[in-house]
Amino acid sequence: MKRATTAFLAAMLLPGIALAQVDTRATFEVTKTFADGNNVDEVTVSIDCNTGVILDQDKVLADGDTVEFVVTSFTDGTLNCSIEENDVTDGYSADYNGNGDADDCTWTAVADGDENNCEITNSPDEVEIVVTKNWNIEGSNNNVDLEYNLYAYCDNVFLDQGEQAVGHNYQIGSDSGEGPGSDTHTFSFRPAFPSSDCYVNESVYDSAIEVDNGCQNITLSAGEDGACTITNTVFFEGIPTLSQYGMAIMALLMLGVGFVGFRRFV
C-alpha cells in the first residue's frame, strides 16, 4: 500500500511521466583535468538530456575534481544525454572521453541503472612569439656577411606528448635569414601553467654587425602571444662599430699622437 501511494504522489507531481518511469535512475560521473596542472581556473560543466529529471544540471569543476550528475524518471532505454563545458578556459582546448561508445561524452539509449563516466581534459593551445627583424645599414654592405640565425628558448613548456618540460630552457625552435629580406620569424609552443619565460638569441657571423636584442624577457601564459624586435646595425662597409673595437682603436690613436708630440719637443 505504501509503494502504491508513493507512485501515485509521484505521478501527481510529474504529470507527464508514466508510473513505470518513476523508479528509473542513471548516473554520469565527470572528472576534470588540466593537463598542465592549472589549479586556479574553474569551468562550468553541464548535462543535457532529451527526457527525464536532471538533478543539478550545472556543476563547477577545477583540476582534479570529480562530480556526479543524476537523471531519474525516464523510460528505460530512451534516455539520450551529453556532457560538455559551458565556458572553456581561454587558451585551452577540451578533450572528451566517455565510457563505452561515448568517445565525446554523448550517450544514447541509456538504460535504468547505467553508471556512465566522462573525463574532460584541458590542454593549453599553441601561442606564438613573432620576432621582427630590423636592419640599419649605413653605407655599402658589400663586404659584410649578413647571415644570421635565431634560437628561441622557453622554460615550463607543455610538450605535444602530454609532458611538461620544467626547470630548464627548452629550445622551441630556430630560424635563419640573410639581410633585410627576412623581416619576421615566428616561433610556436604551448606554455604551461602558470606561465613560461622565453628569450630569443641571435648569432651573426660578421663583427661589423651590431646587435640590439629586445627579445630577452618574454613571459607568456595560455592564450597569450608575444612579440619583440631585434635590430642589426652595419656601419661603414665592414668597419667594426664603436661599441666593439672603437675604444681600443681610439686608445691606440691617442698613444700615437702623444708619442709624435713628445718627439717634436725633445
Instruction: Render pLDDT for 137-184 as a digit per residue (tens, 0 to 9).
Output: 877 666 889 999 999 999 999 988 778 888 778 999 999 998 887 789
Instruction: Render pLDDT for 186-195 as a digit per residue (tens, 0 to 9).
Output: 999 999 999 9
Supply the pLDDT for residue 100.
65
Cell 587558451 -> residue: 91
Instruction: Kindly state the percentage of the chain with pLDDT values over 70.
Output: 78
Instruction: Render pLDDT for 198-222 as a digit per residue (tens, 0 to 9).
Output: 999 999 999 889 999 999 999 999 9
Distant-in-sequence, close-in-space partners of 189: CB < 8 Å, separation ≥ 6:
126, 127, 129, 154, 157, 172, 173, 196
- Three cell numbers written together for 226: 608575444
Residue 67 has pLDDT above 60, yes or no: yes
Residue 4 has pLDDT above 50, yes or no: no
Residue 6 has pLDDT above 50, yes or no: no
Q: What sign does the dihedral 234-239-245-248 (CA atoms) show?
A: negative
Return the higher-pLDDT residue of 164 and 30: 30
Which residues lie across from 123 on neighbouring strands?
93
- Rounded to whole angstroms, the Cα distance separating 62 from 70 reads 20
35: helix, strand or coil? coil
Return the higher-pLDDT residue of 118 and 263: 118
Mean pLDDT rounded to a whole number for the chain: 83
Instruction: Render pLDDT for 111-132 as a digit per residue (tens, 0 to 9).
Output: 999 999 999 999 999 999 999 9
